[in-house]
Amino acid sequence: MERLVFCLGAAALLRLLLKWSWRAWCGFRVHVLSRFLQVDLRTYGRWAVVTGATSGIGRAYANELARRGMDIVLISRSAEKLRQVAGDIESRFGRKTRVIQTDFTEGPSIYAAIEGGLQGLDIGILVNNVGMNYSELLSRFLDIPSPDCANHDPGVVPPQMTRLVLPRMIERRKGLVINISSEAGSQPQPMLAMYSATKIFVTYFSRCLDAEYRLRGITVQCVAPFMVFTNMTRHLGVNPLAKRAPEFAWEALNTVGHATFTSGCMSHALQVRHTLTKPTYIVDIMNGIMSMQANRTLTHLHHECNGVSQYKTM
């Protein structure tokens, strides 16, 4: 009997050791080895298309892709910012650029013009980055303007953009689609309900698409970061766990060819592992505390703003 208990214990320990060794190896390969074994992104095609390319993570991706030898199509809503970012890329990296000015809040009618703007280009990479948060503050569902914002949320834009470039990629049997999701999609996030729900859509959409088209030469990578310093997070102030956007884009692009689902950088991977290994009841308690704190902050701010709740799209 003692021998049996010993064997079962040893088997369980071995299983645990193998599991953790495998995870450690995967993490090492994706976040350390990938720095030295970078995929040559030009093999996917000459042009990369980046949505939301005029600031934050999108701009950092556009710069990094240009630095690695790609010509860039920049898509965003401000013509002035687009001109400035395009000029910057051309002078710093000597790559060609094309700009498409559009507002993703305008719904399905915008895609014909975007398709026209992409006509004739050998597009190897699409970065579905543009995304929005509804408020600089945490908000209850009824405090956001309307669920119609689904027209310009990530649950609609990546599929539409992917439809524009995927057929040509399949014909050439090569292509890379990078969808920027968020860690906010890995667990339910009260006070960020729509954001959290649409991000899990992006994650599932990416993972399904990758399985559907992998054998046709297409890679679909889902990047789900924690916190990156950008306009979207500026109200949160300095935070030791947040990453600067250029460093984030560099690390995240290194993971191409090494992972199809990643948090993008080592620091975020460690934070995610820490969060996901918590038992669900702890996550529920933390969500409850977060919700109570947000309630207090909201009440305080609503007093300060005479009851007018702040609203901002990104």
Ligand X SMILES: NC(=O)c1ccc[n+]([C@@H]2O[C@H](COP(=O)([O-])OP(=O)(O)OC[C@H]3O[C@@H](n4cnc5c(N)ncnc54)[C@H](OP(=O)(O)O)[C@@H]3O)[C@@H](O)[C@H]2O)c1
Q: Catalytic amino acids?
A: 195
Taken as a whole, the chain contains a residue count of 314
Of 29, 81, 207, 258, the one binding ligand X by CB under 6 A: 81
Which one of the spans 6-14, 99-107, 159-167, 275-283 is the region binding ligand X (CB under 6 A)? 99-107
State in angstroms the smallest separation of the CB of 100 from ligand X.
10
Of 29, 38, 55, 168, the one binding ligand X by CB under 6 A: 55
- Within 8 A by CB and 6+ apart from 226, the residues are 183, 241, 242, 243, 263, 267, 268, 271, 272
Please say whether the beta carbons of 231 and 314 come within 8 A: yes
Nearer to ligand X, 57 or 73 (CB): 57
Binding of residue 271 to ligand X (CB under 6 A): no
Instruction: Tell which positions 113-142 bind ligand X, by CB under 6 A.
Output: 129-132
Task: Report the alpha-carbon distance of residue 118 to residue 13 in Å, rounded.
Answer: 55
Which one of the spans 15-23, 48-56, 115-123, 207-215 is the region binding ligand X (CB under 6 A)? 48-56
CA 131 to chain centre: 9
State in angstroms the smallest separation of the CB of 160 from ligand X.
12
State in angstroms the smallest separation of the CB of 277 from ligand X.
20
Site string for ligand X, 136-175 (x = CB under 6 A): ----------------x-x---------------------
Q: How many CB atoms lie within 10 A of CB 120?
A: 5
Instruction: Tell which positions 212-241 bind ligand X, by CB under 6 A.
Output: 225, 227-228, 230-233
Of 76, 189, 219, 221, the one binding ligand X by CB under 6 A: 76
Binding residues with ligand X: total (CB under 6 A):
31
State in angstroms the smallest separation of the CB of 133 from ligand X.
7
Of 42, 96, 105, 302, the one binding ligand X by CB under 6 A: 105
Binding of residue 207 to ligand X (CB under 6 A): no
Instruction: Kindly list the residues in this chain that would bind ligand X in the complex (CB under 6 A).
Output: 52-58, 76-78, 81, 102-105, 129-132, 152, 154, 180, 182, 225, 227-228, 230-233, 314
